[in-house]
A and B are shown apart, each in its own frame.
Chain A
Amino acid sequence: MNWTVTALTEFVQRLMSKPNPLKPAFHAYKTGTSTNLTGDGTGYTVAYNAVLYDHHGDFDTSTYTFTAPVTGKYLFTTVNYTTSGARDHETWQLDFMTSNRNLLAYQVKDSSSVTLTEWCVNGSLVCDMDAGDTASVRLVVSGGTKDVNAIGDYGSGGNSCVFTGILLT
């Protein structure tokens, strides 16, 4: 087959525009509401029990854990809609728990001075992972009543507790 420059360019562009099914990328989310998870310092591993996509089959919806298939730098992002009954909590903290290290992604202190009972706790980080390493998301709310809830659905079919990741390099 004889290729013209134009045909070859179009062919390469078509190839590059397709998502690479072997490149690790996932979007996990939580369904339903879980109640009284933290608030008194208890660590809660956010239960992302479903996936929108998981290109490489790396996310385990029973342990809520991503396992890196190859060594590299991974971008993780998370959004978690939480509510609480009381307003007595002092600290809200979100961590990415990876095998090599635990990374603080979000923290608010002295939240009792803020009269809010709903928090959307977000975070994103690039993490250094080896093949076989794991990553999960932990929420710790402390200084008050154990009445913090994780809300998986906020209506209209939307997901409000999400954990995504992709291999960057």
Chain B
Amino acid sequence: MTEITERIRDLTEDELAVLADVVEDPEAWWAHVQAATNVDAHSALAAKLKRHRPEYVKRMAPEVARLKKIEAGEELDADDDTKTAEELDADEETRTAAAAATAEGCLYKTRAEREQEHQGSTA
């Protein structure tokens, strides 16, 4: 099997997050897929993300829900004690998961997105 050396593109943060939930080294997996001649890299990436994103979104759902509460100014439940509000607000993984959930068509929106929508509707 011959290999090409040209790199098509880098993975986005969202793609990295979903892939990291499945494979040990997402960058290495993507590099291999781009180099392999027996698969179409774009199709393989799209199919893998489509197949594994639901599991990732489901796993991250509790953290995303807590982030949503914080951004909405709601109080956290007593059992929401895995991370403080500040820690959660600054948690990159949770924010990426929120973005992934949005990409999947879930209803979650970031504060900035809600504000933008609100401004748009009142203009």
Report B80 CB to chain A, min CB distance, Å.
Answer: 31
B23 touching A58, Cβ below 8 Å: no
B48 touching A130, Cβ below 8 Å: yes
Given contacts A67-B36, A71-B47, contact A132 B29 (CB under 8 A): yes
Which residues of B sit under 8 angstroms from A60, Cβ to Cβ?
Answer: 1
Given contacts A67-B32, A71-B51, contact A59 B1 (CB under 8 A): yes
CB nearest neighbor in B for A102? B24
Which residues of B1-47 are within 8 A (CB) of A? 1, 22-24, 29, 32-33, 36-39, 41, 43-45, 47
By secondary structure, the B interface counts as: helix
Report B122 CB to chain A, min CB distance, Å.
Answer: 45
Given contacts A57-B38, A58-B38, A71-B47, contact A132 B32 (CB under 8 A): yes
Report A109 CB to chain B, min CB distance, Å.
Answer: 25
**What range describes how many residues of B lie at the interface?**
10 to 19
The proximity string for A residues 56-98 relative to B, scoring 1 for CB distances below 8 Å and 0 otherwise, is 1111100000011101000000000000000000000000000
Which residues of B sit under 8 angstroms from A99, Cβ to Cβ?
Answer: 22-24, 29
Given contacts A99-B23, A100-B22, contact A132 B1 (CB under 8 A): no
Given contacts A99-B23, A100-B23, contact A131 B39 (CB under 8 A): yes
By secondary structure, the A interface counts as: loop
Which residues of B sit under 8 angstroms from A69, Cβ to Cβ?
Answer: 38-39
A130's partner among B36, B37, B41, B44 (CB-CB below 8 A) is B44
Report A53 CB to chain B, min CB distance, Å.
Answer: 14
Q: Please measure, in the bound complex, the distance between the C-alpha atom of A100 and the C-alpha atom of B47, giving whole angstroms.
A: 14
B36 touching A132, Cβ below 8 Å: yes
CB nearest neighbor in A for B32? A134
A132 touching B33, Cβ below 8 Å: yes
The proximity string for B residues 37-76 relative to A, scoring 1 for CB distances below 8 Å and 0 otherwise, is 1110101110110011000000000000000000000000
CB nearest neighbor in A for B25? A99
A130 touching B51, Cβ below 8 Å: yes
Report A59 CB to chain B, min CB distance, Å.
Answer: 7
B47's partner among A56, A58, A67, A131 (CB-CB below 8 A) is A131
11 new A-B pairs (CB below 8 Å) besides A71-B47, A132-B48?
A60-B1, A67-B32, A68-B39, A69-B39, A99-B29, A100-B23, A130-B47, A131-B48, A132-B33, A132-B44, A133-B23
